[in-house]
Amino acid sequence: MKKQWELCEKLSETHDLNEEELLSLLTGRTPETDEYLRERACEECLAHYGDQVFLRGLIEFTNFCKNDCLYCGIRKGNSSIKRYRLTEGEILSCGEYGYELGFRTFVLQGGEDPYFSDDRLCRIVSSLKSRFPECAVTLSVGERTKESYQKLFQAGADRYLLRHETADCAHYRRLHPPEMSFENRMECLRNLREIGFQTGCGFMVGSPFQTPEALVKDLRFLKAFQPHMVGIGPFLPHKDTPFRDFPKGSGELTVFLLSVIRLLLPRVLLPATTALATLLPEGRELGILHGANVVMPNLSPDDAKENYTLYDHKLSSGQEAAQGLIELKESLQKIGRTATGMRGDSLMDL
Ligand code: SAH
């Protein structure tokens, strides 16, 4: 018990713990020490970013995917979903709508869809950037070659999200088909950062076969890689995947890990993810109250939202994004935070 408090204090003061210490921290939790870390994480976040919560407009522009990740509902092997792609015009309209609502960051996320060749994707990025020069464009389109990443960066993309999924190589193999590799994923992340993208990595909490030791590796990887952004959310099963019968990840563990990540990387941008909001009522607010400072409302057209089904019951309010935004702003206000559409670049490099 005493040891647990010491670890919490050490983490809050030094922003670092070694593997053995992290494992003790994860396995010796109590409600009191969880609450202590939550408070320290919020203080740390407020000290660097103030009370602002950054809004990102998410555009889910394709659910075609050439990969067969065992957890993911839009995997190639799922023949039950309706596949869709937004046209360049539709993507720009989403941008237009988001811009009017005040968003100054657009996140283009999709499956690994070969239709979006470098040329097509670069054109979309440059159109967005020339139409909305003061906005940041974030891409989340999976693994590509270094040359491809380079072209997308030159076309004007500012940021790139590529979750590492797990920092344990053997665990990675159990979540992915044989043609995908841990080494390539990590290589992609290194390339993205080297090219100059503000780079985000991250992982699912409670993915099948995840152990506390694997989570410790994730945390150590984050500390070593020093990403600009970290996305984590609970694993949620999807009925048409090989992992349909595995249990959901824990919401409590997810928010605890948000606090730990905030303390390990005080200046990181940390979203309260849709998966967390899907699992827990008020998941977004709970995430913010554990040290997160980003939310990513969905700007995709309704039929796209319906079919971008990474997991079952994915939260997608039937209401207008505009109405959802008003409610989101109000609920953040209630917990003492101010939602802002501003670019909100990461402070990691400063
Ligand atoms: N194709 C892109 C985007 C993938 S979807 C890429 O490879 O980066 C974005 C994230 O959703 C994934 O990185 C994964 O961590 C998460 N995800 C996928 N399936 C999920 C599930 N069943 N439960 C929770 N999160 C999931």
**What average pLDDT does the segment 232-247 reach?**
98
pLDDT at 350: 77
**What is the distance in angstroms between the CA of the first residue and the CA of the last residue of the chain?**
37
Closest C-alpha residue for ligand 1 atom 24: 235
Distance 249 CA to ligand 1 centre (A): 14
pLDDT at 15: 98
**What average pLDDT does the segment 189-197 reach?**
98
| pLDDT tens readout for residues 164-175 | 999 999 999 999
The count of C-alpha atoms lying within 13 angstroms of the C-alpha of 170, restricted to the half-sphere facing its C-beta, is 7
- Report the top-level CATH class of 51-340: alpha beta
Question: Is 167 exposed, middle or buried (CB count within 10 Å of its CB: 0-12, 13-18, 19+)?
Answer: buried
pLDDT at 252: 98
Distance 78 CA to ligand 1 centre (A): 15
Distance 140 CA to ligand 1 centre (A): 10
User: Which of the four pLDDT bands, split at 50, 70 and 90, describes residue 321?
Assistant: confident
Q: Is the pLDDT of residue 322 over 90?
A: no
Domain spans of the chain, in order of start = 51-340
Ligand 1 atom nearest residue 234's Cα: 24
**What average pLDDT does the segment 66-72 reach?**
98
HEC readout, 135-154: CEEEEECCCCCHHHHHHHHH
| pLDDT tens readout for residues 246-264 | 999 999 999 999 999 999 9
Mutate to test the pocket of ligand 1, among 310, 311, 312, 314 (most ligand atoms within 8 A of CB): 310
Residues with CB under 6 A from ligand 1: 71-72, 109, 111-112, 140-142, 162-163, 165, 204, 233, 235-236, 238, 275, 310-311
pLDDT at 119: 98
Q: Is the pLDDT of residue 1 over 80?
A: no
pLDDT at 318: 66
Q: Is the pLDDT of residue 320 over 80?
A: no
| pLDDT tens readout for residues 204-233 | 999 999 999 999 999 999 999 999 999 999
pTM for this entry:
0.97
Ligand 1 atom nearest residue 109's Cα: 3
d(CA 236, CA 315): 12
Sheet strand arrangement including 338-340:
294-295, 52-55, 338-340
Q: Which two tokens stand for residue 14?
A: 């030094």
Q: Is the pLDDT of residue 274 over 90?
A: yes
Distance 165 CA to ligand 1 centre (A): 8
Strand 136-140 versus strand 159-161 pairing type: parallel
Buried b (16+ CB within 10 A) or exposed e, 103-138: bbbbbbbbbbbeebebeebbebbbbbbeebeebbbb
| pLDDT tens readout for residues 91-136 | 999 999 999 999 999 999 999 999 999 999 999 999 999 999 999 9
| pLDDT tens readout for residues 20-49 | 999 999 999 999 999 999 999 999 999 999
Q: Is the pLDDT of residue 2 over 90?
A: no
Please state, rounded to an integer, the average pLDDT across all residues of the chain. 97
Mutate to test the pocket of ligand 1, among 72, 144, 188 (most ligand atoms within 8 A of CB): 72
pLDDT at 195: 98
Mutate to test the pocket of ligand 1, among 163, 171, 209, 238 (most ligand atoms within 8 A of CB): 163
**What average pLDDT does the segment 150-155 reach?**
98
Percent of the chain whose pLDDT exceeds 70: 99
**What average pLDDT does the segment 45-56 reach?**
98
Which helix (H) or strand (E) segment holds residue 294: the answer is: strand 294-295
Q: Is the pLDDT of residue 72 over 80?
A: yes
Mutate to test the pocket of ligand 1, among 71, 78, 108 (most ligand atoms within 8 A of CB): 71
Closest C-alpha residue for ligand 1 atom 4: 111
Give the least confident one: 1-10, 38-47, 76-85, 255-264: 1-10
Percent of the chain whose pLDDT exceeds 90: 95
Strand 105-110 versus strand 57-62 pairing type: parallel
Q: Where are the alpha helices (DSSP H) in 196-282?
A: 212-225, 251-264, 274-279
pLDDT at 110: 98
